């Protein structure tokens, strides 16, 4: 699938700014510093679309992007970049603002077709497990993507992904997609999973 256009729409500080329309939405969520912005840029093949920062926790609003592609089944859609969670240096007050914003989006979006939860391939956090458990409990089963797999040796990959799957309580059929924003590994597999969700 080839991306034709990718444009930033706006940053949302509250639910009144969320989109009202009929375009399918794909949301991305993950722990701060998991490589979310890099993955979005890699997936859409657009450098600098989602801002990459060396400071974790930089995404503090819900950022919306309008995308067009050459795939007839997914010609126009919206990418939703949700705030990263779990960065200790962000104040508790600010973190307390993020959680309701994320929940308001996930609970209220009528066009949300797929949620991608990013977890780091080398480290599983309690917040990752809690996020996935919560999404499952509200009937929003996520696509789970393990990022930064290029940092793992080939001999380490199977064990690392197996530990993630077991730690997250996922069954065999809910496989984790291994992804590298550096090499592009996993890009086609993730698109296939997204298109399957959107078309069902």
pLDDT digits (tens, 9 = 90+) for 9-43: 999 988 899 998 899 999 999 988 899 999 999 99
The burial class, CB within 10 Å (0-12 / 13-18 / 19+), for 105 is buried
- At 136-163, the pLDDT tens digits run 888 899 999 999 999 999 889 889 988 8
Using alpha carbons, select from 198, 199, 188 the residue that is nearest to residue 45.
188
Q: Please tell me the predicted confidence (pLDDT) of residue 92.
A: 55
Question: What domains can you pick out in the chain, each with its CATH number?
Answer: 3-199 (3.40.50.300)
Buried b (16+ CB within 10 A) or exposed e, 171-191: eeeeebbbbbbeeeebbeebe
Q: Residues 6 or more apart from 1 whose CB is under 8 A from it? A: 69, 70, 71, 74, 191, 195
Backbone φ and ψ of 108, nearest 5°? -100, -15
In what side-by-side order are the strands of the sheet with 76-81? 3-12, 62-69, 76-81, 25-30, 112-120, 143-147, 177-178
Mean pLDDT of 68-88: 86
CB 82 within 8 A of CB 167: no
Place 195 in a pLDDT band, splitting at 50, 70 and 90.
Answer: very high
Backbone φ and ψ of 160, nearest 5°? -65, -45
Beta pairing partners, 67:
6, 77
Taken as a whole, the chain contains a residue count of 200
100 vs 37, more confident: 37
- Selection from 104-113, 117-126, 149-158, 180-189 with the highest mean pLDDT: 180-189
Supply the DSSP symbol for 192: H
Average pLDDT, the chain: 86
**Global confidence as pTM:** 0.89
């Amino acid at each position: 699938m080839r991306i034709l256009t990718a444009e930033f729409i706006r940053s949302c500080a509250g639910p009144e700014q969320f989109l009202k329309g009929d375009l399918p939405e794909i949301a991305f969520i993950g722990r701060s510093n998991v490589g979310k912005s890099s993955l979005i840029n890699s997936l859409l093949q657009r450098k600098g679309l989602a801002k990459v920062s060396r400071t974790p926790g930089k995404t503090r609003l819900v950022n919306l992007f309008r995308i067009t592609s050459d795939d007839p089944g997914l010609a126009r859609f919206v990418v939703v970049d949700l705030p990263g969670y779990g960065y200790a240096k962000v104040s508790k007050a600010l973190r307390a603002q993020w959680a309701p914003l994320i929940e308001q989006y996930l609970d209220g979006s009528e066009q949300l077709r797929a949620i991608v939860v990013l977890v780091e391939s080398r480290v599983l956090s309690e917040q990752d497990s809690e996020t996935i458990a919560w999404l499952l409990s509200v009937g929003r089963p996520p696509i789970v993507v393990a990022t930064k797999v290029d940092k793992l040796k080939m001999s380490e990959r199977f064990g690392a992904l197996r530990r993630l799957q077991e730690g997250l309580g996922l069954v065999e059929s809910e496989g984790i997609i291994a992804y590298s924003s550096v090499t592009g590994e996993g890009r086609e597999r993730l698109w296939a999973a997204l298109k399957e969700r959107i078309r069902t």
